[in-house]
């Protein structure tokens, strides 16, 4: 009995199910019917290109691209910025495009175009009319151009636009083309979508860099390899060999017959200090009496008169460079110069001493011969006057010898100062082993 009753109930409800199904089908077809009623074709190949997707960005250009389906005049356009796409439904302005001064698209002029049959440009109409009412999210464009636009692809760029203010939010712009100038007769329609995007900030930090080293090198020019970096620089001394009266020993001094070590000094520096760097030295004050910072016998008692050639201190040239002439000068002399800038280890920029093109510049008292692109090549024993000038500040105060602070580019990539030392003894310079010591200091200003 129960089963029979159920069968009866289902039979009685079947017409209701059929009616509901019919309504659903008809409802789904309703939009199609309504479009047909408006006589508008759908724009194809539609797109919107934003000049920026940053939320709330202003001064943007929105460029629309679409293909019209109908050959007809296009004298007015309505552009609606909405949170939903479907034409004919209520348009809600995206966040940031409502109220007060939050105008998003109702501004600007035509910025670009292509594909249009007629050259007459569109202009913003602040009053609107017919189907277009200007608002923060509604832009009404019109022009007077009765001639038909041939169906086809075209673009329209509009400037002074503004994005919604919420990141990563999709918004839609509904496009309606009208044949008349009063937004009355629809031609083609379509909707484009775009989205704001959270701008991504990429940050990094470059640490302060200072690599500075002093050592010895066999290089006696501006191009021979001296080591790729400070890690490849070694040595803490050079040997000028045996000094003789009447000749000046200049590094590098050959081992035979002069008993030198065939080495120059080298000071290499690398820094990213944008305000440049300087290289200075201080003569270490040795034990003894007087002239403690010059080439001397450690512990010796020397004269307070630096020109005394009978004591165990070789006269330091001082801070003014001068050529040495062991033939004519009866005393003894010691000095240093920067023979040139060796660029062989520079990889970050073009560096060439001869050009000259280097960031590290020699101080005027340590530039050898007064020019900034001529390497001092003299070596071993030189009779008569030396080609280059030499200086040595024995006072123990800091004396700058090179700097990049005055260069256009102040950072330095392993530029190397080739340090050349010179000394000659007098006939009365007491025999013995002479040494001078330099405390080299680099100062980088970041």
Partner 1 sequence: MRLGSIKFRLCALVLIVGVLAAWPLAAIRTASALNLIPRSIEISTAEPSAIAAQLFQFTYASTSSIGSVVFNYCDNSPLFDEPCSAPPGLNVLAASLDSQTGNTGFSIDGVNSTSSRIVITRAPAGTLATASSYSFSGIINPSTPGSAQYVRISTHATADGTGPETDRGAVAFYILTPFQVGAFVPPFLSMCAAITVAIDCSSGAGDQIDLGTLVTSQARTATSQFSGATNSITGLGVYTLGPTMTSGNNIITALSTATPSFPGFSQFGINMRDNASPDIGSNPDGSGTATPALGYNTPNFYRYQPGGIIASSTNPTDYTRMTVSYIININANQRPGVYATTVTYLGLGQF
* # binding residues, partner 1 (CB under 8 A): 62
Q: Is 390 helix (H, G, I), strand (E, B) or coil?
A: strand
Is 48 or 230 the residue whose CB approaches partner 1 more closely? 230
Binding-site member from 109, 330, 347, 355 for partner 1 (CB under 8 A): 330
Site string for partner 1, 289-308 (x = CB under 8 A): ------x-------------
* Contact between 163 and partner 1 per CB under 8 A: no
What span, in angstroms and rounded, lies between the C-alpha atoms of 274 and 446?
6
Closest CA to 326 of 275, 269, 385: 385
Q: Which of 92/397 has CB closer to partner 1? A: 397
- Classify the C-alpha dihedral 87-92-95-97 as positive or negative: positive
Shortest gap between Cβ of 411 and partner 1 (angstroms)? 13
Show Cβ contacts of residue 367 under 8 Å, excluding neighbours closer than 6 positions: 321, 337, 338
> Rounded to an integer, what distance in angstroms lies between the CA atom of residue 59 and that of residue 365?
58
Residues 77, 168 contacting (CB under 8 angstroms): no
Q: List binders of partner 1 among 164-223 (CB under 8 A).
A: 205, 207-215
At closest approach, how far in Å is the CB of 33 from partner 1? 52
Q: How far is the CB of 340 from partner 1 (least distance, A)?
A: 18
Q: Is residue 391 part of the contact set for partner 1 (CB under 8 A)?
A: no
CA-to-CA distance for 203 and 220, rounded, in angstroms? 44
Interacting span for partner 1 (CB under 8 A) from 28-36, 115-123, 131-139, 234-242: 234-242
* Distance of alpha carbon 252 from alpha carbon 249, whole angstroms: 9
Among 54, 57, 197, 284, interactor with partner 1 by CB under 8 A:
284
Considering only residues 230, 247, 316, 402, which one is a binding residue for partner 1 as defined by CB under 8 A?
230
Alpha helices in 275-336 (DSSP H): none
Question: Residue 224, CB half-sphere, CA atoms under 13 Å: how many?
Answer: 13
Q: Which of 39, 49, 120, 275 binds partner 1 (CB under 8 A)?
A: 275
Q: Is 93 helix (H, G, I), strand (E, B) or coil?
A: coil
If binding is defined by CB under 8 A, does position 111 make contact with partner 1?
no
* Span of 164-172, 177-185, 188-196, 270-278 interacting with partner 1 by CB under 8 A: 270-278
Length of the chain in residues, anyone? Answer: 446
Q: Does 426 bind partner 1 (CB under 8 A)?
A: yes
Strands 41-42 and 186-195: parallel
Nearest to 60 by CA among 194, 177, 176: 194
Name the residues that contact partner 1, by CB under 8 A. Answer: 205, 207-215, 230, 236-245, 249, 259, 265, 271, 273, 275, 282, 284, 295, 309-310, 312, 314, 330, 336, 398, 419, 421, 423, 425-446
């Amino acid at each position: 009995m129960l089963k029979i009753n159920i069968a009866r109930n289902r039979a009685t409800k079947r017409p209701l199910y059929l009616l509901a199904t019919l309504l659903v089908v008809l409802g789904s077809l309703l939009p199609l019917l309504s479009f047909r009623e408006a006589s508008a074709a759908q724009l194809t190949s539609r797109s919107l290109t934003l000049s920026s997707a940053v939320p709330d960005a202003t001064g943007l250009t929105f460029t629309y691209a679409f293909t019209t389906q109908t050959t007809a005049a296009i004298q007015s356009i309505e552009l609606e910025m909405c949170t939903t796409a479907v034409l004919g439904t209520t348009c809600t302005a995206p966040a940031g495009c409502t109220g007060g001064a939050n105008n998003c698209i109702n501004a600007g002029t035509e910025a670009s175009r292509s594909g249009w049959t007629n050259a007459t440009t569109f202009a913003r109409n602040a009053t609107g009319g017919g189907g277009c009412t200007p608002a923060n999210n509604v832009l009404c464009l019109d022009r007077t151009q009765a001639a038909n636009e041939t169906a086809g692809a075209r673009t329209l760029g509009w400037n002074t636009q503004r994005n919604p203010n919420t990141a990563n939010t999709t918004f839609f712009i509904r496009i309606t083309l009208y044949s008349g100038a009063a937004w009355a007769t629809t031609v083609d329609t379509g909707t484009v979508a775009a989205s704001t995007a959270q701008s991504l900030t990429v940050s990094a930090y470059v640490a302060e860099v200072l690599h500075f080293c002093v050592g010895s090198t066999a290089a006696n020019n501006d191009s021979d390899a001296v080591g790729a970096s400070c890690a490849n620089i070694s040595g803490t001394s050079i040997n000028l060999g045996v000094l003789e009266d009447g000749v000046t020993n200049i590094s590098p001094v050959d081992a035979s017959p002069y008993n030198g070590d065939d080495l120059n000094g080298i000071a290499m520096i690398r820094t990213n200090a944008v305000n440049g760097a300087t290289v200075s030295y201080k003569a270490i004050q040795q034990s003894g009496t007087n002239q403690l910072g010059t080439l001397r016998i450690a512990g010796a008692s020397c004269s307070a008169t630096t020109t005394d050639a009978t004591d165990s201190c070789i006269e330091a040239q001082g801070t003014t460079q001068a050529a040495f002439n062991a033939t004519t000068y009866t005393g003894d002399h010691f000095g240093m110069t920067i023979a040139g800038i060796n660029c062989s280890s520079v990889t970050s920029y073009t560096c060439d001493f001869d050009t000259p093109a280097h960031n590290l510049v020699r101080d005027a008292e340590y530039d050898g011969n007064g020019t900034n692109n001529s390497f001092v090549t003299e070596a071993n024993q030189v009779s008569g006057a030396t080609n280059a000038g030499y200086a040595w500040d024995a006072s123990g105060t800091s004396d700058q010898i090179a700097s990049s602070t005055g260069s256009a580019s102040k950072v330095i990539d392993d530029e190397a100062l080739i340090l050349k030392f010179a000394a000659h003894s007098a006939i009365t310079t007491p025999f013995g082993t002479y040494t001078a010591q330099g405390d080299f200091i680099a100062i980088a200003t970041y």
